[in-house]
Structures are given as C-alpha cells and as structure tokens.
Amino acid sequence: CSDSDLGPISLNWFEELSSEAPP
C-alpha cells in the first residue's frame, strides 16, 4: 500500500521500526 505524498505505508510500522531502531 502506498500514498504518493506519504510514501510506502506499512500496517506493522511499530514492529518494523522497533526491529530497526538501536536497542
């Protein structure tokens, strides 16, 4: 899913950011 202004959207944004961010 994507929006032209907001970029690609992920329903699991919280889990994905948590796995990418430094601990």
Partner 1 sequence: NEAEQSTPVLFDGLTEENLQFVSKLKDSSSSCAVDVSTVWWEAAGCRELCVVTACENSVSLWKPLAPDHWGKVYTWQLGEIPVIQIIPLLDTCNLICIALGNLEIGEIRLLLHSSENDSFKQSLVKTGNIKAVLGLKDRRLVSSSRSMQEQEVEVVSFSETGRSKHGQTLMPPEETVLAFAEVEGVKDALVGTTAVNSIVVWNLRTGQLLKKMHVGYSYPASICHRAYSDSGLLFVVLSHPHAKESESCGNPAFRVIAFNPKTARSTGVIFSSLPPGHAGRYVEGEVKDALAAAVLSSGAIAVWDLLLGRCTALLPPGPAGGWALVRWGAAGAGLLAGRGDGSVCLYRYA
Q: CA–CA separation, 16 vs 22, rounded Å?
A: 12
Distance of CA 9 to the CA centre of its chain: 6
x/- letters, 1..23, toward partner 1 (CB under 8 A)? x-x-xxxxxxx-xx-xxx--xxx
In whole angstroms, the minimum distance from the beta carbon of 8 to partner 1 comes to: 6
Q: How far is the CB of 5 from partner 1 (least distance, A)?
A: 6
Q: Which two tokens stand for residue 22?
A: 């430094």
Binding site for partner 1 (CB under 8 A): 1, 3, 5-11, 13-14, 16-18, 21-23
